[in-house]
Structure formats: C-alpha cells, structure tokens
Structure 1
Amino acid sequence: MGLLEDARNIQRKDPAARNVLEVILLYPGFHILVYHRIAHWLYRHKRFFLARWVSQHGRRRTGIEIHPGATIGRCLFIDHGMGIVFGETCEIGDNCTIYHGVTLGGTGKDTGKRHPTLGNNVLIGAGTKVLGPVYIGDNSRIGAGSVVLRNLPANCTAVGVPAEVVRINNKAVNPADDLDQQDLPDIVAQRLTDLDRRLGALENAAQGDTPPTAAQIAARQKS
C-alpha cells in the first residue's frame, strides 16, 4: 500500500500526471522510491554492498542519488528529480516536496549525523543545497537556489545564499513577499540597499548635513 500511496500522491500533486498508471510506469520520482525501499531494507539488514548496488542502479536509471541509509517518510514527491542527492544520514518527514537539483548533503567536517533532517510538509525549491546536520521545521518552504546552513523554524519561508527566514507563520520578517518560485525576494539586494542607506547617513552626519530622504536614496541607486 505504501508505494501505491506514493504514486497516488504524485498524481495528485503533479498537474501533468494524467493517471496513477502513468506515474508508476514513467515517473523517475516514483521509480527511485521503489529502488530506495529495496536498498534501505538491505541496508537495515546490514547487506551494505547489495544495498549500495541497488541504489547505484537506481541512480543510473533515474539521475537521482539516494544513499540506502537515508530515511524517507510517506508521500515524498520528487518533481523531475534529475540531479537530486540525499546523504546517508538524511531524514525526510511525511508529505515533502523536493524539486530537481536539490542536495541534502554534508559539509565534510561532521561525523555521525552528517546530513539534514526535514520535518513534515517541507517544500524545497529547485537547485537548493541543504548542508550539514541541520533541521528544517514542519511546513517550511525554501526558495529555489538557496543554500541552507543552519536550522530553520517550522512554518517559515527562507531564501538566499546563505538562506534567511523572510516569513514565519505567513507574516513577513522583512519586506519580502510570499514564496511563489518566481518572484523571490533578493536578500543580497536588500542588504546592499540597507548598507547604502547607512553609508549615506554616516557621510551626511560627518558633513553635518541632514540624512537623505527616501527619494534621494532611490535616485542614488538608479544612477
């Protein structure tokens, strides 16, 4: 029932999937879950070589690399999937969505628990890298192309390199808007704007002038 539930979940979430049979026969995101179920069973029964052989065969077939030691919950939706990597001690909760190019990897300096843990209902955008034994809270959303190096709270939206929380419980932490995978807030640009504003204020203070107005700051940025 578990794999059938996974297939139905993919069919529900992917508007391009016409029916469950199409998912079972044609979707690499489903195929890799089948390979991983077998590899993970072998891994838990200490058949490490066979486990790795199965996982590598799945990698060649799908372009998705999941270490057999990784723990995956119910209803994982891997969309497209090409270039995804999950490390050995990675843990993924239920009902998560992960887009192509995502890495749940290590930093190279940790031992033991080296890879991320995702709570339930987590969405990770395309190309995102989550590195180290960090925890991503339930219902969190991470924007495409982000790099996550520290824990993120539940019910948050995070974007940027390194990723910063821009919303918690659907309330903005800064002027950023909702994550829609297209119009992501530019954290670097916001930092540069804040830095320019502070430098302008310091220069004016040093010259004995009044601080610049918002219109003056905007004009300086356009020039």
Structure 2
Amino acid sequence: MDNLTSLTNFLGIDSDSALGISIEGAVDQIPLVGKILNSLKIRALQQKIKYLELRIQRLSDTLMERPDDFVGEFFKARAFPFMLDQLLEEQQEEKTDLIMNGIEYIYEQRITEENKMLIHFDILKELRVTEIKHLLTYTSEGREAERRKSKFEEVPESDLKYYDYIENHLEKLGLIDNGVRSSSEVQQDVFSALSNALPTKGGMKGRGLRISAPQTIITPFGREFIQFFELKSLIQIPAN
C-alpha cells in the first residue's frame, strides 16, 4: 500500500471516489474530477501531497497506531480534512511546509479549539512569504541572518518600497507592535528625562536627557504564531 492510499484509508475515503482519486492523484482521472473541481487545483494538490507524503505517512501511521478520542473526534474529523483544504487553496509553494507544520503542532499540542486552528490558518493565508520573512527579522535568529546577509547583499529598492505596507499589515494582524505611544506616555518620558538631567552654569546637562524612540516588537500572539507554524524554518543564516 503506497503512502497516498494509506492517507485516504486513514480518512475513511473510498479510493475509487472523486475525492479519493483527487487525493491519490491518478493523473489519467483528473479530467473527470475536473468536471466537479478545477483540474489545475487538483494537480496542484496532487503535487503538494506528493511532496509531503513522507511527513503525512509518518503522522497518519502514528495516529492509527495510537488512536484516542482526540484523533477520532477532532483531528481526523476536522484538522486533517482542513489541511487538505488549505493545501488546495494555497498559491505559494513555500507555505506548503508551513501548513504541515501547523497540523503537526495541533497534534503534538493536542489542540481541540477549532477557533484557534481557524484563526491561525486564516492569518497564515493572508500573509505572503515576504511578510513572514519580514516578521522573522524581529527574532534573534532573523536579526542574525539579516546582519550576515547585509555584508554580501544590498536590500533591493523594491523591498523598501513595500516596507510600510508590510509593517502596517503585520501590526493589523496583531503579530507586531510598532510602539506608537499615547501623549501621556510621551509626557512621562519627557519628565523622566528632565528629572535625570544635571544642573550646570549653562543650564541643564543632558545625562539621560533623551526621549527613547518607540521600538517594534513581536507581540505574545506573534510569538505563538511563529511557534505554531515553526516559521523559523524559513530562516537561512549565511555562512561566515
């Protein structure tokens, strides 16, 4: 029994059905399935599942060897079919592994909150790979990769053009905090700076007479999101 047949059996799908054919990727049957679903999407799904088949096989074997209520009631009924739907709709190939990372994380952490699963995958769907990589620049590993990369590569002007859009999008999704402060926080910063200043003949000497600029940070939800999909797997640190 091959890996993809094992997957359809695990999900309780008849391998001769339209869905079974689409999952197993019988190329000669794709035109028939295309009467119901877009044949290009089916081909893309076939390729993605073929690419992930070893990981899917390992996970499905684990699930069948150690069945429990979590597997039967949520993971098998909701999470696994949801993964296939995500693979079918996703246009960016680089996100294929991230989708699988999320499904494995759901199983490992025994997550049974459907809303939590949907929210995380909805946000992943909204993000382009470029935006994900930008988010990672706020991690220690991402900063190190950027530092080494800057020695050899110049940032394309086209990337800088969309910097503000990416920052605003990540903040809108709750993944980063750009540190915009209220007027009362700015006032407090001024008072604190003045209280640290030293009186001199010429006036005030600026020991600490400085207003700190707001810094962009990853939010707690952003850190959870990175862990959920193991996004750091996208980081490539150049050799010295």
Shorter-chain TM-score tier: 0.3 to 0.5
Whose Rg is larger?
A: 2
More strand as a share of residues: 1
TM-score (norm 2): 0.32
TM-score (norm 1): 0.34
Select the structure with the greater relative contact order (CA < 8 A; seq sep ≥ 6). 2
